[in-house]
Amino acid sequence: ALTHLDLGLAAATDGFKSSELGPIAASCPNLRKLVAPCLFNPRFSDCVGDDALLSLATSCPRLTVLRLSEPFEAAANIQREEAAITVAGLVAFFAALPALEDFTMDLQHNVLEAAPAMEALARRCPRIKFLTLGSFQGLCKASWLHLDGVAVCGGLESLYMKNCQDLTDASLAAIGRGCRRLAKFGIHGCDLVTSAGIRRLAFTLRPTLKEVTVLHCRLLHTAECLTALSPIRDRIESLEINCVWNTTEQPCSVANGTTTECDPEDDELGEVYESAAKKCRYMEFDDLGSWEMLRSLSLWFSAGQLLSPLISAGLDSCPVLEEISIKVEGDCRTCPRPAPRTIFGLSDLAGFPVLAKMKLDLSEAVGYALTAPTGQMDLSLWERFYLHGIESLQTLYELDYWPPQDKDVHHRSLTLPAVGLIQRCVGLRKLFIHGTTHEHFMTFFLSIPNLRDMQLREDYYPAPENDLMFTEMRAESWLRFEVQLNSRQIDD
């Protein structure tokens, strides 16, 4: 009998409707894992709501892993509507899934006052360890010292909350007190959280917390966020943040009245001020200068921003960092032209002594593939801006690279400056280009002395309109390059 079903790529345009999800569940009663995109938009009469969820749970009561999501992100400036899912419906849904261990419900429509549903999850699904929620409001009100909402899920090892607009510093303090086993924690688009809340959470979960994600939170700028993580600086193994360089001072209080002077998690007795002893312990962590255990780092940049301030912001010492992922998004056409000799700053990463793998994703950086208007830079110059200095990374072993794109031209192709800069990475063994390039440009990569694995991946949408325009996509062109690559003498 079928026990694992992953439909993550199916119905990717809008997700499965209620009338489609029900028959799938009914035909697979022994499922233990289900991954499916679903239509939760309440404007559609056949959207997934309380009845569809309950039908799914009763049809597949053995589910241990359930991941439901809406396939596309809503625009940032769009007012989110309420989903056709209620707290009462979620309570009944969780009651029918006693074996649930891993639950994801990533919505683009709001579920309001969700705290009672989370408390039901803790009671009805005692094995729950991994939880990802999107657009759930009221997850943890933390109105007083007692635990509520998601904070009562004491068995959680991983918690990720996205677009939770009323999540506050007090909420994070309560989660830290209630979820003492958390090893992974992430927030995305939670605009009331400040560095004070992150610091309290990190301090409370210092014995367990290993992986942290903080993305697109309006009051959390990079330098403040890195400082807030001081209590776990010598323990954290994976970090994902968006890089926002802001010199203005961050507010220290939000609507819930929480400030750096007030710590709701101070003790079980409920003291609402920071004791002198705790302040001393905070100061001890401020002296931790090195990210001793950090092995994986993911960074998000808006188009035109620089990497260079990252080192001075607090990430200057990462002795065991092995893998870095850099994502750039935005419209380069609206960015001011960089000043002369201004570069992105990849050379600053040369200070990481064992950096071996890099993912540089410019696929969502949009520009002019052909001739740019006066005063603008085309994509070849933007590639030079981002890749300049990559030759300084002498320990780099593997590179995944997504070139930038022009959405009016249906291909993503390497330019000559990009090829010229990448070929200077003499330590590369694996090179994966997620795009195309000319056959002549590919021969430049033969000068990389130890290159053993070279791939061009045409894995982007929309696909090229005419493959014959790009000679490297012809079978004979690739075979010629493969013969030359394999005929070289490799030192080891």
Q: Assign residue 429 the CATH number of its domain.
A: 3.80.10
CB 382 within 8 A of CB 367: yes
Are residue 369 and residue 252 in the same domain, yes or no?
A: no
Q: For 7-83, where are the alpha helices, taking DSSP H only?
A: 18-27, 50-59
Q: Answer with the one of 282, 314, 340 that is the final residue of a domain.
A: 282
**Predicted local distance difference test score (pLDDT) of residue 127:** 97
Are residue 320 and residue 277 in the same domain, yes or no?
A: no
Are residue 244 and residue 310 in the same domain, yes or no?
A: no
- The residue with tokens 């490297």 is 472
Task: List phi, psi (to 5°) of 122.
Answer: -65, -40
Q: Compute the CA torsion angle 259, 265, 271, 273 (nearest 10 deg).
A: -30
Are residue 226 and residue 94 in the same domain, yes or no?
A: yes
Residue 420 is inside which H or E element, if any? helix 416-422
**Peptide bond preceding 462 in cis form (omega within 30 of 0):** yes
- Cβ atoms within 10 Å, residue 76: 8
Are residue 277 and residue 301 in the same domain, yes or no?
A: no
pTM of the model: 0.87
CA distance 366 to 303: 9
CA distance 229 to 222: 11
Domain assignment present for residue 356? The answer is yes
CA angle 418, 424, 426 (to 5 degrees): 135
Domain assignment present for residue 287? The answer is no
**Predicted local distance difference test score (pLDDT) of residue 259:** 37
Are residue 233 and residue 308 in the same domain, yes or no?
A: no
The residues, ordered by sequence, that sit 6+ positions from 180 with a Cβ below 8 Å of its Cβ are 154, 204, 205, 208
**Predicted local distance difference test score (pLDDT) of residue 18:** 95
- Those residues of the chain that have pLDDT short of 50 are 248-280, 468, 471
3-state secondary structure 341-357: CCCCCHHHHHHCCCCCE
**Predicted local distance difference test score (pLDDT) of residue 76:** 60
* 8 token code pair: 């993550």
Domain assignment present for residue 449? The answer is yes
Task: List phi, psi (to 5°) of 203.
Answer: -65, -45
Q: Answer with the one of 214, 247, 282 that is the final residue of a domain.
A: 282
- 37 closest CA partner among 27, 54, 24: 24
Task: List phi, psi (to 5°) of 100.
Answer: -60, 130
* 217 token code pair: 């939170």
Are residue 318 and residue 250 in the same domain, yes or no?
A: no
Show the domain range for 11.
4-282
CB 345 within 8 A of CB 306: yes
**Predicted local distance difference test score (pLDDT) of residue 473:** 60
How many domains would you assign to the chain?
A: 2
* 311 token code pair: 């080192």
Strands (E), 221-295: 238-242
Are residue 316 and residue 187 in the same domain, yes or no?
A: no
Are residue 258 and residue 305 in the same domain, yes or no?
A: no
Are residue 396 and residue 255 in the same domain, yes or no?
A: no
Are residue 184 and residue 260 in the same domain, yes or no?
A: yes
CA distance 458 to 247: 41
Q: Compute the CA torsion angle 413, 417, 422, 425 (nearest 10 deg).
A: 180
CA distance 401 to 382: 14
Domain assignment present for residue 289? The answer is no
**Predicted local distance difference test score (pLDDT) of residue 12:** 59
**Predicted local distance difference test score (pLDDT) of residue 250:** 38
**Predicted local distance difference test score (pLDDT) of residue 78:** 66
* 223 token code pair: 């330098």
Are residue 232 and residue 207 in the same domain, yes or no?
A: yes
Domain assignment present for residue 290? The answer is no
